């Protein structure tokens, strides 16, 4: 099966970095965590959301890799960064990550992003993340997320 160019790019990065993950393109939308869970047939908590924030002073891109139902407590992340953050807009997400909203993968971005990983993801044997488009996902072991992203496992909500 031929993958969409962005999905193929993610598949190539996974392969080149030695992760045995297969990118799957689905007819159904995987744009939101809820849609992705329905399309894959897993628990919402097993969906890896890749949420991009922007630091208010230095305009750094910050990636929070969060479990499906969780809301990021911006104050907790700001405290870790020593700087306030806000939600990034769609243009900033696209420019810094190289992908459209709903398809942002946890790795392989246009520019490096400071990354935090939701500790709640680690309770699952496997989880599913976006793979470059709002119709593409891949399955991974959450224990691979720190290596994949260079991120730190933290508590992201109260
Ligand atoms: N493919 C699924 C999971 S596999 C996915 O990418 N989910 S997500 O949660 O990481 O991406 C959707 C997120 O993008 C939403 O939770 C929301 O935080 C963000 N988002 C949606 N619309 C906008 C927008 N207009 N501007 C900025 N962020 C947005």
* Cα gap 116→81, rounded to integer Å: 10
State in Å: Cα 95 to ligand 1 middle: 15
Handedness of CA 151, 16, 38, 126 (dihedral sign): negative
Task: Confirm whether 113 is domain-assigned.
Answer: yes
Task: Confirm whether 31 is domain-assigned.
Answer: no
The answer to whether the predicted template modeling score (pTM) of the entire model surpasses 0.85 is yes
What does the angle CA 145 – CA 97 – CA 130 come to, to the nearest 5 degrees?
50
Task: Confirm whether 12 is domain-assigned.
Answer: no
Task: Confirm whether 23 is domain-assigned.
Answer: no
- Ligand 1 binding pocket mutation candidate from 28, 49, 74 (most atoms within 8 A of CB): 49
Task: Confirm whether 103 is domain-assigned.
Answer: yes
The reported pLDDT for the residue numbered 137 is 98
Q: Provide the percentage of residues in the chain whose pLDDT is more than 70.
A: 100
The reported pLDDT for the residue numbered 135 is 98
pLDDT bucket at 50, cuts 50 / 70 / 90: very high
State in Å: Cα 34 to ligand 1 middle: 11
pLDDT bucket at 28, cuts 50 / 70 / 90: very high
Which whole number is the average pLDDT over 122-138?
A: 98
What does the angle CA 119 – CA 121 – CA 126 come to, to the nearest 5 degrees?
145
Total of domains in the chain = 1
Which whole number is the average pLDDT over 69-96?
A: 98
State in Å: Cα 50 to ligand 1 middle: 7
* Cα gap 81→151, rounded to integer Å: 13
pLDDT bucket at 11, cuts 50 / 70 / 90: very high
Task: Confirm whether 114 is domain-assigned.
Answer: yes
Task: Confirm whether 22 is domain-assigned.
Answer: no
User: For atom 3 of ligand 1, which residue has the closest CA?
Assistant: 33
* Cα gap 158→142, rounded to integer Å: 21
Q: Report the 10 Å Cβ neighbour count for 145.
A: 23
- Residue 96 · residue 53 · CB < 8 Å: no
**Host domain of residue 118:** 38-154
* Cα gap 64→149, rounded to integer Å: 10
Task: Confirm whether 91 is domain-assigned.
Answer: yes
State in Å: Cα 31 to ligand 1 middle: 7
CATH assignment of the domain containing 99: 3.90.960.10
């Amino acid at each position: 099966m031929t993958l969409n160019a962005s999905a193929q790019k993610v598949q190539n990065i996974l392969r080149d970095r030695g992760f045995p993950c297969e990118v799957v393109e689905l007819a159904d939308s995987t744009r939101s965590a809820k849609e992705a869970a329905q399309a894959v047939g897993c628990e919402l908590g097993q969906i890896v959301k890749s949420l991009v924030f922007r630091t208010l002073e230095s305009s750094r891109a910050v990636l929070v890799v969060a479990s499906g139902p969780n809301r990021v407590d911006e104050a907790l992340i700001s405290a870790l960064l020593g700087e306030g953050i806000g939600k990034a807009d769609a243009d900033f997400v696209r420019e810094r990550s190289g992908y459209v909203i709903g398809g942002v993968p946890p790795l392989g971005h246009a520019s490096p992003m400071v990354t935090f990983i939701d500790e709640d993801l680690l309770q699952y044997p496997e989880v599913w993340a976006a793979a470059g488009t709002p119709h593409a996902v891949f399955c991974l072991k959450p224990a691979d997320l720190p290596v994949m992203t260079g991120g730190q496992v933290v508590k992201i909500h109260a």
